[in-house]
Every structure is written in structure tokens, then in C-alpha cells.
């Protein structure tokens, strides 16, 4: 297999060749020093703390007009970026962000190719302002770096790792979480007697649960792998963490109430999707809201399931009452899925699992920067941000920096002053436009000074 490739790009004089030499060492510099060798770019094999990859340096057009991206340099940069698995985009943090840097950044964002932004020449204090400015390029947080002094190597290593890692085991692990066939990590939580163990039993089939985990029970985690057959007949993997249910049977002597709080927190921590089980004969109680709130705060996808529906009285007004109480009680997210099941008869369980998988899909979704900003421009135009104290807030663009849960960063002048109501407007807009449903969506604001 060929080595992964990394391109070094940036306007003239930001330190590309210096970085190249640092990554590749002497071997290559020699080749390059031969007079009369005209190459469009230098390439060499790099070893960064054990990471091996091929580097391409696009330097060499210093004498061209630096005010715009000159044709040859542009073609060069574009070809390198397209070819590379990841590009290192350097800016000079002493000089600050220039219009040419912005132009390159704009183009890079439009390609959707993986980019690591590096604020070079960041040794000492002289680069601090430049590092902040670089945040506004919409390419994530820059890595403060000094090609000359070798500072920032570990951060660079970490940033490159996901793109150039060769170790297959690690690769599998990395992709594991995002892969659609990765096991759904599901937690079923709720107050004592909501019916958690009955539900788990029902999902797993009675015998399996009781015999399975008992032997391997540990203090920290009790999870069970199983498969759910979806409505198309496809088997889908589920990793279920059980809370009080399993433990109750295993350690009868433990103090259950106390245990269950710890268990609940641990289960939320573990899960992608949290099913909060309510007892339909008791409705929604304060403690339920606390668990729900906690799950959302932790960024988990949440589903609320009313159990014992087989014995629910006045079902429709009960349902509507709980729905209303949820929307009022959960300030962060409206419209969390509310389902009804019976753990005893099994009714509603397939729908619950289907919703759990769908919710995870939304929770893991990534939106391209291009798509995001097309929506963003419309959203800003339809409802321009306020001008607190007469000072205009100018949002520039938005990018998704993480999924699971979906997290976005908004850049622009004074965006840190955006009122909560406006942030909610944007978050709700994101939800609608990109079908995030009721999974938690995070927005952070960056206003470079
Ligand atoms: P290129 O045109 O992007 O390839 O830039 P060079 O690698 O030729 O570097 C341009 C200038 O910046 C040279 O004088 C380097 O010595 C200097 N330089 C490169 N990296 C650093 C750094 O980390 N800190 C400082 N202070 N100067 C640097
Ligand atoms: P846990 O403490 O949350 O694990 O709750 P359990 O699973 O031990 O259930 C508590 C009680 O509720 C038991 O008596 C169950 O038989 C009963 N129960 C659980 N699910 C249902 C259901 O769907 N319908 C009815 N009618 N009873 C249920």
C-alpha cells in the first residue's frame, strides 16, 4: 500500500519549506539543492513521532505577485490538495492573516478536503494575535507551531493521526463509531420499578439475559451485545448497558437506590442513545426530568418511553399531558421522541428500536461546510442579528466541528454578543434544515479580535 500523502500549502514565506525540511530531514534537501532542477514541487518521506507519510511541498513561487493567488501557484496548490489525504495549511502568525490567506482558506473550504490549519512562527508571544485571527478562517482551531524551533509537533501529530494512521486496528477503531453497522450503544434508564429489567428481558429473550452477563459482571460495566432485526429483516447490532436490572439480580444485597443513581450516570456516559423509561401508571416525575436533562447536557440522543401502556388509564390524555410537561420541562430541546410500550406484552418495542437507530443516525450526521453556509446565508438574511448598543454583529460563516452530538462553530465580528434567542433561532434552523430532530445541537461562537 502506498504511503498516505500530506501536502504543505500556504502563501509564500509562511514557512512551508522550513516545515518540509523538518518533517523530511536532510535526505530531501539534498535532492533539492541541485542547481537547475526545476520541479513543481518537492516530495519526501516523513517520519513524525513514528507516523510515516509522504509530504509534498508546494513552495517555490516567492517571486510571483503575492497580492493575488498567482495562476501557477494556484494550480500547484489545488493539485496538491486534491491529491493529498490531508493538507497542512500554514499561515504566518507573526504577520497575521492576509487577504491571500483568506482567499486560500475560502477555496479550501469549498473543496471539503481535510485540512489542518497551522499558525506557524508561533514561538514566543509575537504570534498570539495571529493565532486568534486564524480561528476566523473557518478551518477549525489552528495549531500553534514553530517550524524553525520544532514547537507544536505533538499537536501536529495528533491532528494528522486520523488522516494518516496506517495501523489497521486503530483505523478500524476510529471508523468503528461512525460506521453505520457499528453497534448501537443503548442505555435504558429510569426510576426503580419503571420496568427496566422487564424491558431488557423482553428485548434479549429471557434466558439469555440472566445466564449471560452474570458470570462476567464487573463493577464498572455490564453490557450485553445482541442483535435486533429491523423492519426490513436486517440484523442490527446493539450493545446494551443495563442499569439496575441486571445488577439487582446479581447483587441483591446492594443498596439499590444509591446504586441506581451511579448506574444511571454511568449508563448515560456510555450511551449514544438513552432510553428514559417512564411508568405510565405514575406519569412524569421530577426525577425523570432530571435524568432527561442530564442526558441532553451530556450530549446524548434521548428517547422517552412510557412503559406499562397495557395498563395505562385514559391513554390519550396521559400521553398529551406527558408530552406537554416534557416540552415545558426540557428547556434545551423540544420535541424529544415520546413513545409508548409494554415490556410485558412486547408491544411498541420494535418501533422503539427503530427510533433509537434513526436517532443515532441524526446524532452522528455531518453536514458539509458548503451546505451549511448556503443555509446560513439565507437564515441571516431572513432574520438579521440585532445590533446591541448600536454595534453590528456580523456573522461570517459556520462550520460543523464535531458530530455525536452535532456541534457547530460560528465565526464573525462580535458574534460572542449574540443573544440566546438568536442562538436558538440558528440552532432550530439547523435542526430543521438538516433533520437533526431532537438530538442536542451545540453552537459555539468565535469572535476574533
Ligand atoms: P515558504 O516560502 O513558505 O517555503 O517559507 P520558508 O520556509 O522559506 O520560510 C520563510 C521565512 O520564515 C524564512 O526566513 C524562515 O527562516 C522563516 N521561518 C520559517 N519557520 C519559522 C518559524 O517557525 N519561526 C520563525 N520565527 N521564522 C520561521
Ligand atoms: P425496574 O426496577 O425498572 O427494573 O422494574 P422491573 O422490570 O423490576 O418492573 C417493576 C414492576 O413493573 C414489575 O412488577 C413488573 O412486572 C412490572 N412491569 C414492568 N413492565 C410492565 C409492563 O409493560 N406492563 C405491566 N403491566 N407491568 C410491567
**Considering the chain, what percentage of its residues have pLDDT values greater than 90?**
43
User: Is-contact 259 247, C-beta < 8 A?
Assistant: yes
Q: Is the per-residue pLDDT at 149 higher than 60?
A: yes
Q: Which ligand is nearest to the CA of 151?
A: 1
Q: When comparing pLDDT for 230 and 28, which is higher?
A: 230
User: Is-contact 404 177, C-beta < 8 A?
Assistant: yes
DSSP bridge pairs for 56: 7, 43
Angle between the 26-33 and 16-24 helix axes, to the nearest 10 degrees? Answer: 120
User: Residue 294: helix, strand or coil by DSSP?
Assistant: helix
Q: How confident is the model at residue 427 (pLDDT cuts 50, 70, 90)?
A: very high
How far, in whole angstroms, is CA 398 from its chain's centroid? 14
Q: Is the per-residue pLDDT at 293 higher than 60?
A: yes
**Dihedral sign of CA atoms 173, 174, 177, 178 in order:** negative
Rg (alpha carbons) of the chain, rounded to whole number: 27
- Ligand 1 pocket, 327 CB below 6 A? no
Nearest CA to ligand 1 atom 9: 15
Q: When comparing pLDDT for 1 and 201, which is higher?
A: 201
**Gap from CA of 325 to ligand 2 centroid (Å):** 23
User: Residue 61: helix, strand or coil by DSSP?
Assistant: coil
Query: Grid coordinates in use for 122?
Result: 508561533
Rounded Cα distance between 284 and 292, Å, is 11
Establish whether this prediction's ipTM goes over 0.85.
no
How far, in whole angstroms, is CA 255 from its chain's centroid? 37
DSSP bridge pairs for 118: 90, 143
Q: How confident is the model at residue 206 (pLDDT cuts 50, 70, 90)?
A: low
Q: State the residue for C-alpha cell 435504558.
A: 188
Q: Is 397 annotated as a binding residue?
A: no
Q: How confident is the model at residue 207 (pLDDT cuts 50, 70, 90)?
A: very low
- Ligand 1 pocket, 21 CB below 6 A? no
- Residues across the chain: 449
**Gap from CA of 444 to ligand 2 centroid (Å):** 42
Q: How confident is the model at residue 73 (pLDDT cuts 50, 70, 90)?
A: low
**Gap from CA of 31 to ligand 2 centroid (Å):** 75
Which pLDDT score, from 0 to 100, does residue 402 have? 83
Over 295-355, what HEC string results? HHHCCCEEEEEEECHHHCCCHHHHHHHHHHHHHHHCCCCCCCCEEECCCCCCCCHHHHHHH
Which pLDDT score, from 0 to 100, does residue 165 have? 61
pTM of the model: 0.61
Rounded Cα distance between 23 and 45, Å, is 8
Residue burial 405-430, b: 16+ Cβ < 10 Å; e: rest: bbbbbbbbbbbebbeeebbebbbebb
Q: When comparing pLDDT for 192 and 143, which is higher?
A: 143
* Residue pLDDT, tens place only, 310-332: 999 999 999 999 999 999 998 77
Q: How confident is the model at residue 72 (pLDDT cuts 50, 70, 90)?
A: low
**Gap from CA of 313 to ligand 2 centroid (Å):** 16
Nearest CA to ligand 1 atom 26: 121
Nearest CA to ligand 1 atom 19: 15
Most ligand 1 atoms within 8 A of CB, residue of 11, 13, 60 to mutate:
13
Over range 233-250, report the average pLDDT: 69
The upper half-sphere exposure of residue 242, i.e. CA atoms within 13 Å in the direction of its Cβ, equals: 29
Q: Is the per-residue pLDDT at 307 higher than 70?
A: yes
Q: Is 364 annotated as a binding residue?
A: no
Tell me the DSSP string of 390-433.
GPPPEEEEEEEEETTTTEEEEEEETGGG--HHHHHHHHHHHHHH
Q: How confident is the model at residue 88 (pLDDT cuts 50, 70, 90)?
A: very high
Over range 333-337, report the average pLDDT: 88
Q: Which ligand is nearest to the CA of 89?
A: 1
* Residue pLDDT, tens place only, 351-408: 999 999 999 999 999 888 788 889 999 999 999 999 888 888 988 888 888 889 999 9
Q: How confident is the model at residue 444 (pLDDT cuts 50, 70, 90)?
A: confident
Q: Which ligand is nearest to the CA of 197?
A: 2
Rounded Cα distance between 130 and 119, Å, is 7
Which ligand 1 atom is nearest residue 10's CA? Answer: 3
Which pLDDT score, from 0 to 100, does residue 1 have? 62
Q: When comparing pLDDT for 168 and 232, which is higher?
A: 232
Amino acid at each position: 500500500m502506498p504511503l498516505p500523502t500530506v501536502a504543505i500549502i500556504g502563501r509564500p514565506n509562511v514557512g512551508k519549506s522550513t516545515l518540509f525540511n523538518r518533517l523530511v530531514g536532510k535526505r530531501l534537501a539534498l535532492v533539492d539543492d541541485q542547481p537547475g532542477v526545476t520541479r513543481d514541487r518537492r516530495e519526501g518521506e516523513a517520519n513524525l513521532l513514528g507516523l510515516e507519510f509522504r509530504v509534498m511541498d508546494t513552495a517555490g513561487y516567492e517571486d510571483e505577485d503575492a497580492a493575488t493567488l498567482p495562476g501557477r501557484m494556484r494550480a500547484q496548490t489545488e493539485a496538491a490538495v486534491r491529491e493529498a489525504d490531508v493538507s497542512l495549511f500554514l499561515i504566518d502568525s507573526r504577520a497575521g492573516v492576509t487577504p491571500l490567506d483568506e482567499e486560500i482558506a475560502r477555496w479550501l473550504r469549498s473543496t471539503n478536503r481535510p485540512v489542518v490549519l497551522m499558525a506557524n512562527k508561533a514561538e514566543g508571544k509575537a504570534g498570539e494575535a495571529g493565532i486568534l485571527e486564524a480561528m476566523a478562517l473557518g478551518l477549525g482551531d489552528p495549531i500553534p507551531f514553530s517550524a524553525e524551533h520544532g514547537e507544536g509537533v505533538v499537536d501536529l501529530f495528533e491532528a494528522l493521526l486520523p488522516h494518516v494512521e496506517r495501523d489497521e486496528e486503530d483505523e478500524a477503531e476510529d471508523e468503528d463509531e461512525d460506521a453505520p453497522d457499528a453497534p448501537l450503544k443503548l442505555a435504558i434508564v429510569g426510576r426503580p420499578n419503571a420496568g427496566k429489567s422487564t424491558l431488557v428481558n423482553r428485548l434479549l429473550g429471557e434466558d439469555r439475559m440472566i445466564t449471560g452477563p452474570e458470570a462476567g459482571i464487573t463493577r464498572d460495566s455490564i453490557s450485553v451485545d445482541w442483535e435486533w432485526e429491523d423492519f426490513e429483516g436486517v440484523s442490527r447490532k446493539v450493545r446494551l448497558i443495563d442499569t439496575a436490572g441486571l445488577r439487582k439480580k446479581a447483587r441483591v444485597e446492594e443498596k439499590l437506590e444509591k446504586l441506581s443513581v451511579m448506574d444511571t450516570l454511568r449508563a448515560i456516559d456510555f450511551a449514544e442513545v438513552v432510553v428514559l423509561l417512564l411508568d405510565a401508571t405514575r406519569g412524569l416525575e421530577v426525577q425523570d426530568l432530571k435524568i432527561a436533562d442530564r442526558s441532553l447536557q451530556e450530549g446524548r440522543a434521548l428517547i422517552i418511553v412510557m412503559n406499562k401502556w397495557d395498563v395505562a388509564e385514559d391513554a390519550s390524555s396521559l400521553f398529551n399531558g406527558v408530552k406537554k410537561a416534557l416540552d415545558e420541562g426540557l428547556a434545551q430541546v423540544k420535541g424529544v421522541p415520546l413513545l409508548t410500550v409494554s415490556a410485558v406484552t412486547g408491544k411498541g418495542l420494535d418501533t422503539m428500536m427503530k427510533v433509537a437507530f434513526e436517532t443515532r443516525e441524526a446524532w452522528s450526521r455531518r453536514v458539509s461546510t458548503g451546505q451549511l453556509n448556503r443555509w446560513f446565508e439565507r437564515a441571516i438574511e431572513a432574520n438579521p442579528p440585532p445590533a446591541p448598543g448600536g454595534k453590528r454583529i456580523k456573522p461570517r460563516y459556520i462550520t460543523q466541528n464535531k458530530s455525536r452530538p452535532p456541534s457547530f462553530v460560528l465565526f464573525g465580528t462580535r458574534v460572542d454578543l449574540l443573544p440566546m434567542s438568536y442562538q436558538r433561532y440558528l440552532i432550530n434552523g439547523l435542526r430543521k434544515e438538516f433533520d437533526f430532530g431532537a438530538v442536542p445541537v451545540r453552537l459555539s461562537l468565535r469572535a476574533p479580535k
